[in-house]
Amino acid sequence: MEHERVILGKIDNLNMKIYLIGVGGVGGFYGGLLAESGADVTLVSRGESFVAIRKSGLVLNCSDGERRVFPVKVIEHVSEIIDPDLIILAVKSYNLEEVSRGLERVINDDTIVITIQNGLENDMVVSRHIHCQVLPGLVLVAASKTAPNKVNQRGSQRKLVFGARSGEITTKMREVESVLKSAGIDAHVSESITQELWKKFLFVLSFASATVVQMGPIGEALNNPQSLKVYKDVLRETITVGKGEGIEFEPDIFDVTLKGALDFDPLTKSSLLVDIQNHRQTEVEALHGVLVRLAERYNLPVPVTYSIYKRILKLRG
């Protein structure tokens, strides 16, 4: 049954011009919530998605029912962005270089850019090309694109965490947080974003590894002794490398991360596995590749992660 739209608090700062680049599962879901809330948001999408969104808006199949969001502002090219206050980059990590070069010509000194890709270094990639403030971020949401303008959400998580690596929190960051919260997004500005990125990295890397070994959703992977062992081994290796980077994890980080996977919707596949099964480019370099390179820096063995890294490269052809 279609639920009526519920606005979770009207946005106060309607003058904040937001652009969200990349209308896949996560980008489409968060972009739809922002558009529904009344935020001044414009999506940047190409091809069939651009045409479908411009014609029919977005359809969000959420855990609390179906939402139809129309109209939705959408443009096809980064070069069409004008005077952005906030840009949310929801493209895959392997597209960041190309998108960043395009942003160089449309941002201003006051623009804030938030990266929400999987991985640890995405903001650093973007900062090589543009001069405004680039904030690393992360999301915890199970959302997948099922048609050019349709997104399915599994579970109830809608988290988006962002912050400056320096730990500074500015008034404008709080304004961004408020706009996101008003759209029903569980947004939070963090004073320790590097720590948050590593905690998400632990979750994603072990989750992705287990589902790739299983070639199935996380529920199947954690119920299979072989892929469960892979999950645990990759998680231990990642914690070890994180400590080598100077990250101070909570003593129970292993158990907490594993419990998070066990509590996740069992039918969820990692985005890495979805890309493999659809013969698309993957984010393996931003995930397994990063850990392998950091492990080499600190001369730490990560045999299980390395073996999965090589397996994914072969699957990718």
Interval 182-195: pLDDT, tens: 999 999 999 999 99
Note whether 222 and 168 are same-domain residues.
no
Q: For the chain, give the mean pLDDT.
A: 92
Q: Are 193 and 164 in contact (CB under 8 A)?
A: yes
Note whether 220 and 171 are same-domain residues.
no
In a domain, 136, yes or no: yes
In a domain, 4, yes or no: no
In a domain, 275, yes or no: yes
- Rounded to whole angstroms, the Cα distance separating 143 from 19 reads 19
Note whether 176 and 249 are same-domain residues.
no
| Residue carrying the six token digits 């809330």 | 37
pLDDT band at 170 (very low <50, low <70, confident <90, very high): very high
CATH at 308? 1.10.1040.10
Find the DSSP H helices in the chain.
Answer: 25-37, 47-56, 96-103, 122-127, 171-182, 193-214, 218-223, 225-244, 253-263, 271-277, 290-297, 303-316
Note whether 157 and 242 are same-domain residues.
no
Q: Is the pLDDT confidence value at 176 over 70?
A: yes
In a domain, 97, yes or no: yes
- Domain residues for the domain of 76 are 18-191
* Domain end point (choices 165, 191, 217): 191
Average pLDDT estimate for 160-178: 96
In a domain, 2, yes or no: no
CATH at 157? 3.40.50.720
In a domain, 8, yes or no: no
* Domain end point (choices 191, 217, 240): 191
| Nearest residue to 33 (alpha-carbon basis) of 54, 16, 8, 1 | 8
Note whether 51 and 93 are same-domain residues.
yes
β-partners of residue 152 are 61, 144
Note whether 37 and 182 are same-domain residues.
yes
Q: Is the pLDDT confidence value at 6 over 90?
A: no
Q: Is residue 71 reached through a cis peptide bond, with omega within 30 degrees of 0 on the bond before it?
A: yes
- What pLDDT does 316 receive? 65
- What pLDDT does 249 receive? 95
- What pLDDT does 108 receive? 94
Average pLDDT estimate for 84-88: 98
- The total number of structural domains in the chain stands at 2
Average pLDDT estimate for 233-243: 98
In a domain, 5, yes or no: no
Note whether 33 and 144 are same-domain residues.
yes
Note whether 71 and 166 are same-domain residues.
yes
Note whether 39 and 155 are same-domain residues.
yes
Interval 96-146: pLDDT, tens: 999 999 999 999 999 999 999 999 999 999 999 999 999 999 998 888 899
pLDDT band at 246 (very low <50, low <70, confident <90, very high): very high
- What pLDDT does 63 receive? 79
| Nearest residue to 111 (alpha-carbon basis) of 170, 159, 172 | 172
Which two structure tokens, joined as six digits, stand for 254? Answer: 């292993």
Note whether 165 and 244 are same-domain residues.
no
Note whether 148 and 254 are same-domain residues.
no
- What pLDDT does 11 receive? 41
* Domain end point (choices 191, 220, 249): 191
Note whether 174 and 236 are same-domain residues.
no
